[in-house]
Amino acid sequence: MPPLLAGCARATLALSDGALFSGYAAGGEAVASGEVVFNTSMFGYQEMLTDPSYRGQILVLTAPHVGNVGVNDDDQESARVWAEGLIVPDLSLLPSNWRATGGLLERLEALGVPVAWGFDTRALVLHLREKGALPGVLVAGREPARGELTKLLARAHGTDGCDLTREVARTQTEKWEAAPWQPPGEEPRKANGGPRIAVVDCGAKRSILRHLVGAGAEVTVVPPDSGAARILALRPAGVVVSNGPGDPAAVAAVPETIRHLLGKVPLLGICLGHQLLALALGGRTYKLRFGHHGANHPVRDEGTGAGWITSQNHNYAVDPASLPVGTRVSMTNLTDGSVEGIAAEELRAEGIQFHPEAGPGPHDALGVFARFVWRCRKGSA
């Protein structure tokens, strides 16, 4: 071990297939278990860590330096960190950014989230690409005791069969008014008489809500178990079913709610919401080998032939062969041919597998929000 690293505490990642990876711990002792996934984005670590979709997952980042810009309140996608642990090649302890209000490590350490650095993330990512997303255990700050990893791995599990939406979603209906981030000193923009849109919170990112408001909508967020009658009582001009964690096939209540909303109001499903819409229409979902996690995934709009670069974070996809008559594939992933969008025009319903709000990522798909709000405005006129 190099002299500069001689005093560093160790960190060990054990995967369910028996593979071991090691590096160093940042912060205190901590243990995490969950499904190990990687994200190839070069920026946006705070948005990723606070995305509720990462509930139950240990996040591996491939960017060479993480922590450079610190953390701040504006970039939070939720009220807390949801990733079970963080593994990076290198960690910056001194942030350099005018928006920073603190450092990444101090924020994660205060929350008890294990942070590990110095890992050969290239080897780890190649292993996950070959074997697929695997359950794993991260022990940071100490050497695991003999037999400890075996016992911990016996309790570790992936997201298959797990409905995690209730763990991350709101439990009360809430009106959302915060607009997208604006320079200091500007008056906040608020919807003024725009269409009322109900967002079914399965783990909604704040950026989705901000962009809906920014597109002119009045947004009310409802818990995932609200039911169609309770949602329709709000008299919404449209309904958005949000992103979220876990296995879509394990989420029982939301597809049933969607089935009772189909044809009554325009519907937009985002990521998990897209998968739940497909299930409500009678389709099936399946698990991808290692999922799509990153900010540079190319997709094709099947209607126009246009290519979009998109931000994605999902382990499951819709089986196109299972879609019923009247539902078409509207977007396709250009990397593996998987479904990136569906549309059921007669029912005024569409699903988008990627994240149009990005956070982090490119802005190619931001028009999805303006188009949906326009449809809702037109329908309620």
Domain segments of the chain as ranges: 3-155, 165-380
CATH architecture for segment(s) 3-155? 3-Layer(bba) Sandwich (3.50)
For residues 239, 243, 247, 252, the Cα torsion angle rounded to the nearest 10 degrees is -20
Handedness of CA 228, 276, 241, 301 (dihedral sign): negative
Handedness of CA 92, 93, 99, 101 (dihedral sign): positive
Residue 330 DSSP SS3: strand
Confidence of residue 193 (pLDDT cuts 50, 70, 90): confident
In this prediction, residue 5 carries a pLDDT of: 53
CA 44, CA 68: separation in Å to the nearest integer? 11
Kindly tell me if the per-residue pLDDT of 145 is higher than 60: yes
CATH number, domain 165-380: 3.40.50.880
**Quick one: the chain helix, strand, coil %, rounded to 5?**
25, 30, 45
User: What percentage of the chain has pLDDT greater than the value 70?
Assistant: 94
Asked if 220 contacts 189 with a C-beta cutoff of 8 angstroms, the reply is no
In this prediction, residue 27 carries a pLDDT of: 87
In this prediction, residue 380 carries a pLDDT of: 62
Mean pLDDT value across residues 68-75? 95
Kindly tell me if the per-residue pLDDT of 254 is higher than 60: yes
What is the secondary structure of 176-240 as a DSSP string? E-PPSP--TTSPPP--SSPPEEEEE-SS--HHHHHHHHHTT-EEEEE-TT--HHHHHTT--SEEE
Asked if 47 contacts 359 with a C-beta cutoff of 8 angstroms, the reply is yes
CA 148, CA 137: separation in Å to the nearest integer? 10
Confidence of residue 58 (pLDDT cuts 50, 70, 90): very high
Mean pLDDT value across residues 133-148? 92
Residues identified as active-site: 271, 355, 357
Task: Characterize the bridge pairing of strands 196-200 and 218-222.
Answer: parallel
Mean pLDDT value across residues 355-365? 93
